[in-house]
Amino acid sequence: MTTAKKAKRALTAQQVAAYLGEHPDFFQDKDQLLTQMRIQHERGSAISLVERQMAVLRERNTEMHQRLTELMDIARDNDRLFDKVRRLILEMLEAQTVDDLVGVVDDSLRHSFQVPFASLTLFSDNPISIGRSTSLQLAQQHIGGLLLGGKAFCGVLRAKELNFLFGAEQAEHIQSVAVVTLEHNGIQGVLAIGSEDQQHYSSSMDTFFLSYLADVLARLLPSMLASLRAVK
């Protein structure tokens, strides 16, 4: 047989790999062949195919264990977050006045959730004596971009926007914020939290909890404000 014919009939590495992939039990009764095969190791030494398979399985087991540990840590964090949210919602439901409600939210954000800066601002053409309030027109002039589309915002704001949301004294310490709008049954406003860390609140951050808190607030406030007006 000529060399050309031998070359023509020679199997390529891709063909061998494809065959073994289609026949995963090829080495089932070929223990001796398994031990004779050698694979170059990262450290330069040669190891058998069985040893290599064991090493790969150990690596995969380690990776799976790390991923499982990460998932368990996330689950524990979620459990703790759920418990904090549950206690906060129950306290909000028990609040009798707007003052109580705002105080409960502010206290929980600062102490349970370790949020150093928090602000709730309601929009009303008629001044509200409880908490911070301003007209919608003035709000649109200062933070109009945050009110578009009713979506949450996370990131860095300009000094003008920070001053409007938190006041000048707190604004000078705030480097990043998360802001959600309140809108339900005539109630309009914004709930904002801030951090001294510029990277703490970023555009990739999940705002589900903050949006949920804003939704609950927007549903509790109308009846409380109506009662307040009735008393006056």
**Using one digit for the tens of pLDDT, what is the confidence trace for 69-100?**
999 998 998 899 889 999 999 999 999 888 89
- The 10s digit of each residue's pLDDT in 132-182 is 788 889 999 999 989 887 789 999 999 999 999 999 999 999 999 999 999
Which sign, positive or negative, has the C-alpha torsion 219, 224, 225, 226?
Answer: positive
Domains for the chain: give ranges and CATH numbers.
16-94 (no CATH), 97-231 (3.30.450.40)
The pLDDT value recorded for residue 213 is 92
Percent of the chain with pLDDT over 90: 46
The pLDDT value recorded for residue 4 is 46
Residue 117 pairs in a beta bridge with: 194
In this predicted structure, which of 32-36, 80-84, 193-197, 213-217 has the lowest mean pLDDT?
32-36
The pLDDT value recorded for residue 125 is 78
Considering only residues 9 and 126, tell me which one the structure prediction assigns the higher pLDDT: 126
For residue 177, give the amino acid letter. V
The pLDDT value recorded for residue 206 is 85
Question: Greatest CA span in the chain, whole angstroms?
Answer: 109
